[in-house]
Structure formats: structure tokens, C-alpha cells
A and B are shown apart, each in its own frame.
Chain A
Amino acid sequence: MKSESRIPVTVITGFLGSGKTTLLNRMLSEKHGHRIAIIENEFGEISIDHELVVQTDEEIFEMNNGCLCCTVRGDLIRTLGHIAKRRDKFDRILIETTGLADPGPIAQTFFMDDDLKNQFCLDGIVTVVDALHLLQHLDDAPEAREQIAFADRILLNKIDMVSSQEVEELEGKIHCINAPATIYRCVRADVPVEKVWRVGGFNLDHTLEIHPAFLEPEQPFAWGGVFHLPEGHAKISFHSGHGCSCNGHPEQVHGATSEHEMPSEFLLAAFPVASAWSPDFPDKAAADARALFSSEKAVPVANNVFFLPDKKLRSLDLKAHRGSSFLEVGEEGCYALFTSLSPESCDLRISVGEKEVEPEESRSFKPVHHHSGDISSVGLSLDGDLDEEKVTAWMGRLLQEKGADIFRMKGVLSVRGKDERLIFQGVHMTFEAKLDRPWGKSPRHNALVFIGRKLDRQALKAGFTACMA
């Protein structure tokens, strides 16, 4: 595979009015010095005349191989075939789809056609989302969910039209569908072009940099921190999300769409740990917290006073307590505090007197999502080497059986006997595997991500684990 010489292709999807054309025009008007060819499926007002712009009619067909999900885009095969004949090569191809386009056939085209495979590489799928209408689209339009599921990068556009709390909520919804995608919040599609392209195919490394928690198992809590607290009185304050003016947003902006669906209950567990620098945090502490969160029924905090040391799962009624609870610390020391909401989402603070106490250490965890739809993502992580034959056989079988439901798959694998990283990427039943750079000094490791419908995390994990050498 001559990956270095192939022309990168960026696909821009998004509903009508989400800001695709604005993004495209922005990409074309910046002085990046790249020669770009644009393939458009609908008439867009592209404000450029020196680049090649080709309009094509979306033409989807099945590959006659008995597999219903093996669909490709004939118009792209034809058009890119002609573009490939030019000796004055383009640096990049941008494909702007129609609002209702299914990204599946577009992505598969780059795996299924031999000529295209050798000359172009799918650099990334960028989905532009209109923050004001996302919720409505997610409810009404399966295409919107699929466009999000297929994306490598998501531009959450028009965030000036909603409150910051709603932006958080929208990001949460997007993450439920596609956890590994990188989300950029923006207004008028204003993001630096290098954020949109140079995705580098399915750049799993990048995904992991941005969401280190992605490959972890889901936890019953969202956040944990270690606080050093003196004996005596302290205060936990938080915002319930009701009737507040969220982070300085004027009331009238989100007044119309208020009633955020914040949980009325806030769960927390606090217990002593040896010291802030103890190796107990996060692993052992998280395990202890998981035990508390999973096995115990939450005990309401009585009289709004929370005693430490405690070692119980507690619930705070956010409505009743109106913003704060009291902490009675029986003994000076370090306490681990695990919470069901992230401190940012409820503006959690601990203070002693007038002074706010910062956590000595803290980290976010991947909370259990209550998926509202059937599209989700599963990330798997394994140390050690895989057996190439086993993993190829497993992957082949998996894609054959579940390919229709697996929208995208990406992986960086460590295969026994190979010095280089094995990079896997697939769309439905099609996939390509290639050797990447050598592992060198970085620890050998396997990471695999699936985005799709009805994914069975346990079964995927069991199958993957069975591929160990």
C-alpha cells in the first residue's frame, strides 16, 4: 500500500443548513497553498473559481456480491477516476455530500475500488452539526445519527445559539453515539483547517490523546478526586441546573429552552485514602468506589450534613438542598471523593471557610451511558501481542456476521513477530489492514474501536481477547 503517495480525501457531511458550505468556503479561502478539487453532490455556493469543482449526482449501488451493505458510490468512482488521470496532481479532494447522504457507501468506495484504493486515501469524515437543531434531528432523522456515527471529526456549529449547558448536553449525546470522534465547538464553522483535514485516516492515536478514558470500561461515576481536608466544618456547593444562569449566560438566551434535564439526584461516595500521592489513586480508589456505587443503595444525606469518614454511597437531593451541603470532617486527612456528575457539569466546589479547596489529584472517568438510541461505540484495549492468524480470522468472521451493523472500525494492533504497528480500518464489511511505523520504544499495545448498531461489548471483548498469541 503506497499510503504516502495517495491523495487524501476529506468527506464533509451534515444536514442542510448545518454549515457545510460555510466550512467548505472557509477551507478554500484560507491561504494553505494546497491545490484542492471539490466534488459536490448538491448545488452549493462555493466562492472560488480557480479550483476544480465537479458536481455529480449521487449514485449508490450494491456490489452484486450478495452483501446488502456492500454499497459504493458510482459517481465518485467515475469522477475520481478522471481526476486521477491528471498529471498536475491535487493535494487534496473535498467531497461535500447532500444533507441526507449516507456516509457508508462513500467510505466503502475507498476500500472497494482497486484504482481508487491505490490513488486516494480516505483521510477523514467531518460531520457538521447544527447545535440548535441537533436534538430534533436525532429524534426525527436516522441519517443524522448515522452521519455522527461515521464521523472522525464533528463540528458542533452554531453554539452561539444555545447555552453552554446545552452545548455540554449535546456533546454528551454525540459521545453516546460516537465516543472516539473529536468534537470541535464552533460558530460559523470557524475552526482552523488543519483541525478538519490531516485527520490521517482513522487516527486512533489522536483519538486516544483527546479521550484517554475512551478505551476504558464504563464506570458508575463520572469523576473522582483526592482532597486534603482539615478537621472541622467544610462545605460542598453545587448548582442543580435549575433556575441558574448557567456560566454567565444571560437568562433570556436559554430561558426559552430552559428546563435542562439534569438529574435531580447527585450520588457521591467519599472514603479516606492514605495520602494524596498514594498509588491508591486512581486504580485502587476507583475499584473501591465501584464497589460502593454498584453494590449499595444510596443513602440520602440526612439533614444536609455529610460526615467524614463515611464509606457509604450517598445521595444528595439537588432540588431540596438548593446548592450546598455541609461537610463535617471528623479527622484531618486525605479523602477520595467520587461523584456521579462531573464537577464542571454541576459546578461542584469544596470550601473550608471562604477558601476553596482544590483536589490534590483528580480525573474523569467514562460514565455509563444510558443510550437513547441503538448506535453506540465500543473501545477495547489489550496489552500483549496478538496472533495474526487468529485476529484476521476473527475480524473476517465478525465483519461477515455483523458487518451490516458495524459502521466503522479502527484499530492499532501489536502482532507477534511484527516490528511495526498493524493498522486496521473498516467500513461495514470492508476493511484494510496495513503495517504502519515500527513500535520503537513505545509500549506494544492493542486498541480497537467499533462504532455501530447493537454492539455487544462483552462478546466483542471476549472475541478480541481470544486472539492473543
Chain B
Amino acid sequence: MPKLIWSANLGEYVVDLKESPDGSQWAAAAAATGQIAIFDAATGEQKHALKGHALGAHVVAYSPDGKVLASGGQDGQIKFWSPSSGEELGRCPGGAPWVTQLAWHPVPNPKTGFYELVSIAGKKLRLWDANGAQVRAFEDSVATVSDIAWLPPFDKRELVSVCSGNALVLDAENGVVSGRRKLPNGVLVLSCSPDGKWMMTGHQDNSIHVWNLRGSTEAHMRGYESKVTRLSWDSSGRYLATNGGAEVAVWDCSGKGPEGTAPLMLAWHERTVRDQAFQHSGSSLASVDEGGFFAVWRTQVSGRPPAPLFHGKLGSGGTVLRWSADDKILVIGTESGWIRAIEII
């Protein structure tokens, strides 16, 4: 049964939520106040309230070694913080009024030994090291960059950036464009499968597109009730869960991929699903909707239609949902600013 183990209040719409790599703390970002708060993972006690970003925050990201917390927001800045002391270590300009996305490369740069972070702000893509020094500024994108991802398996330092009509593979070593694909318009989100085989994009026209990164094939799946804003892979890289309406569609991407197959539909929510996530190593999936209902599913069922193992309700619409590293705790942010940690036994 699910059991609420702690609650914390950020006072504003929770736009992002991340667990530190050692599992000791969580960082959350607030919409309009731009505050960044760090909570103790065991008790929910607020350890630090960071000033964050004037006008609003968008994103928080722990460096893979957990030594730096980076954040970005509507003041056009990328800020670097010490997760243990809450001290601001440095700040850098993203190049445009809103810094909307940050992504750390999981492996340190072998030449310098530093972890590197890519930032997107409007059409600007910049690469920083963990000290806040700019490694490079990439050439401006032709349109506002919607999303960005480092390409698995991370042996090469390549990243994909998507904007309306265009996907670029960029080589972070030398800043050059190493690949280019034409994308359909109105791209919202991007995600690469952990095995580096697939790239998925969610689009404004209620569709997702599947790109085989090792070949040249492309397929698309339509029929979503609304736009797909979250793409979540399971740990094996075989299953991809997507929102896009009140149901979560889970695609099997093994073999030749999901084209022409029917997804497993997880139907229980009555309102649009805002976020969903697979466990890090287990096979359960959790989902939360805009009405504040959340559900936990076991996805490998056959025969009968899937039903939630557990479900519950929060005080306001869910905005972001994460599993703790040990897969035991579900942490959910809400519109009204509450963060709830729920133990799933």
C-alpha cells in the first residue's frame, strides 16, 4: 500500500524535481518565485532555500557526481550551487531570456576530468564545465530549441538538439554538426533510448516520431488524444511510456521497433496524464494526472487489461513524478507547490 512519508511545500507550481545521485536529497524548482529548494530525502526537511531565478525557474540538474546542482530559469542565467552548503558557486548567461533545459553528460570529459553541462536558451546552445567555465558556444539553432539529449551510450560526446523542423547531432568535442534530420514541425520533447538505438520525439499535433539512430528509418504514431509531453524509458530500453491524454501508452521497442504494433494502454486516469516514470530497475510504472490522481502499474501483464496496483489522490494537479534511486519512494510535485514522498511497498 502507498504510505505518505513526508510532505514539503515550495509555495509555487513545482516545475522540476530531481534526486541527488547519492539519494540523500531532492532539489525542486518553483515556477513564478524561481526558488530552488533542497529537501532531505529521508524526512522532507528543507535544508536550503536557494534564491534561484528572478521571474521563474525552469530546470534543476545534479551533476553525475552530485557535487554541483545546476539550475536555469527566466532570468536567462544558469546557476551552479553547492548541494551540501546551498552556496552559489557561480552563474553564467544562457544567451537568451529563458534558460529552459539543462543536461549533464554522464561521463566526465576524459581530457579535463570535468563533468560537462549543456544549456539551451532560445536558439542558443552552450556547453559548460562543472566550474561554470564555458567550454563552447554552439552555432545558433535556426529556431528555438525545444529539447536536448546526450546520445547514449555516451562513448562519443554527441548530443541531439531538436527545434521545429530540425534535429541536429552535435559533436561536443569540436562543436561541429555531425548529423542532421528533418523533423516534423512543432516538436515538444526528445528522448533517446538507453541503448542508443532509438530517438523519440513528441509533437504538437498529438503524435510521436520514432527514429532509428543506427539506420535511417523513421516512423510515426498518431491517435493520441492530446500532445505527448513526456517520454519515459524503462531501464532495459525496451519499453517507452508516453502520455498524451488520460491513458499512458507503453510501446515495445524491441526488434524492428514499435511501428505497426499496438501499445499497451494503461487506462484508469480520468484527466490528462502530466507525467509518468518507470522504476530505475524494477518494472513498475507510476503516473500522475492534472487532477492530482496518481497510479502505480505493473506493466508486464498479459491477458487481462492492466489495472493500477495502487492509486491515490493529491491535493492539486500533479506536475512532475520521480522514483527514488532504490525504487521504493515516489516523489510527486504539484501545481499548488506541495511535494509528496510516497512509499510504495
Contact = CB atoms under 8 A, between A and B. Distances in A.
Contact of A59 (B31, B143, B319): B143
B31 A86 contact: yes
Contacts of B203: 64
Nearest to A88: B32
Interface string B220-239: 00000011000000000000
A72 B186 contact: yes
A57 B122 contact: yes
A360 interface: no
A54 B184 CA distance: 26
B12 A87 contact: yes
Interface residues of A, number: 24
A64 B98 contact: no
A114 B226 contact: yes
Interface stretch (A74-82, A345-353, A446-454): A74-82
A113 interface: yes
A85 interface: yes
A56 B337 CA distance: 27
Contacts of B12: 86-87
Nearest to A89: B32
Most chain A beta carbons < 10 A, residue from B58, B186, B207, B336: B186
A63 interface: yes
Question: B-side binding surface: helix, strand, loop or mixed?
Answer: loop
Contacts, number: 75
Given A55-B97, A61-B164, A74-B186, A82 B58 contact: yes
B165 interface: yes
A85 B31 contact: yes
Contacts of B15: 85
Contact of B205 (A56, A63, A82): A63
A52 interface: yes
B32 A74 contact: no
A77 B143 CA distance: 14
Interface string A56-100: 110101111100000010110110001001111000000000000
B247 to A, nearest CB: 15
A356 to B, nearest CB: 63
B291 interface: no
B55 interface: yes
B204 interface: yes
B123 interface: yes
A72 B185 CA distance: 10
Nearest to B337: A87
Interface string B92-111: 00000110000000000000
Of A86, A87, A115, most buried by chain B (CB within 10 Å of CB) is A87
Contact of A82 (B98, B122, B226, B335): B98
Nearest to B13: A85
B185 A61 contact: yes
B143 A64 contact: no
A200 B29 CA distance: 35
Interface of B: 12-13, 15, 31-32, 55-56, 58, 74, 97-98, 122-123, 143-144, 146, 164-165, 184-186, 203-205, 207, 226-227, 272, 319, 335-337
8 tightest A-B contacts by CB?
A: A61-B185, A86-B32, A85-B31, A85-B13, A64-B205, A114-B226, A61-B164, A64-B184
23 contacts: A54-B74, A57-B122, A57-B143, A57-B144, A59-B144, A61-B164, A62-B185, A63-B205, A64-B207, A65-B205, A72-B204, A74-B144, A75-B144, A78-B146, A82-B31, A82-B56, A82-B58, A86-B12, A86-B31, A87-B32, A87-B337, A114-B227, A115-B227
